[in-house]
Amino acid sequence: MKNSLRKLRPALLLLMALLLPVLHVAAQTAAANEPEMADSLRLNGKIYVVVAVITVVLAGLLFFLASLDRKLTRLEKEVRD
């Protein structure tokens, strides 16, 4: 477990480095009198719900793919021996 955490560290650092500027820019508000955008969705905070849902769906699917990958690796080893 400790070993896998250490392996994940560069990935987590990369994710943080990518996300920090996003939060920074997203915090700035836009001027009025421009084409309609989903500003009210953001004011209500609801867009974050959508972001969370999409992230969970994507993470779930990617986790499934990664576990299929691991199972396949084990099976490949078994067939080779």
Contact residues for another protein (CB under 8 A)? 7-8, 10-11, 14-15, 18-19, 21-23, 25-26, 28, 30, 34-38, 47, 50-51, 54-55, 58-59, 62, 65-66, 68-69, 72, 75-76, 79
Residues for the chain: how many in total?
Answer: 81
Contact present, 47 and 54 (Cβ < 8 Å): no
Shortest gap between Cβ of 34 and another protein (angstroms)? 4
Shortest gap between Cβ of 18 and another protein (angstroms)? 4
Residue 37 sits at φ, ψ, to 5 deg, of -125, 180
